[in-house]
Amino acid sequence: MAKKQASIDDLISVIIKGIDDVKGENILLLDLREIENTVCDYFIICSGNSNTQVNAISGSVQKVVSKTLKDKPWHIEGQTNSEWILMDYVHVVVHVFQKHVRDFYDIEGLWGDAKITVINPV
């Protein structure tokens, strides 16, 4: 089991690097492991300022994860309008929002029982 967690930790770090590489903003890590019946272990949530930046964040995450960990998302949704792109890496789900869409859906509020960590990439 420790190996799985180590690989999840690696995946989280690489995803955050991909977000930071294209200046994704307001990055949060939600730990869902203590909540019953969740679809994954972690959410990573971030914002972009336009559909172009949201697309760039999604592309950067996919590229960095593929290059570093030889992994790809199990499923991706939202690339058509690029207001909210969801990338499902099975144990980690990445949500890339435009700011107004993130405010509207308030994922952080919906998952208020999760342990939330603010990420400040260096």
Strand order of the sheet with strand 84-88?
75-77, 84-88, 92-98, 42-48, 25-31, 115-119
| Total-model pTM | 0.93
104 Cβ neighbours under 8 A, 6+ residues apart:
none
Top CATH class, 2-119: alpha beta
Q: Strand (E) positions, the chain? A: 25-31, 42-48, 75-77, 84-88, 92-98, 115-119
The CA-to-CA distance between both ends of the chain, in Å, stands at: 29
Domain parsing of the chain, residue ranges:
2-119
Helix pair angle (2-21, 51-69), 10° resolution: 140
User: Which helix (H) or strand (E) is 108 found in, with range?
Assistant: helix 107-110
Residue 13 has pLDDT above 60, yes or no: yes
Q: Summarize pLDDT for 17-53 with one digit per residue, the tens.
A: 999 999 999 999 999 999 999 999 999 999 999 999 9
Q: Summarize pLDDT for 56-111 with one digit per residue, the tens.
A: 999 999 999 999 999 999 999 999 999 999 999 999 999 999 999 999 999 999 99
Q: Summarize pLDDT for 73-83 with one digit per residue, the tens.
A: 999 999 999 99
- What pLDDT does residue 83 have? 97
- What pLDDT does residue 1 have? 42
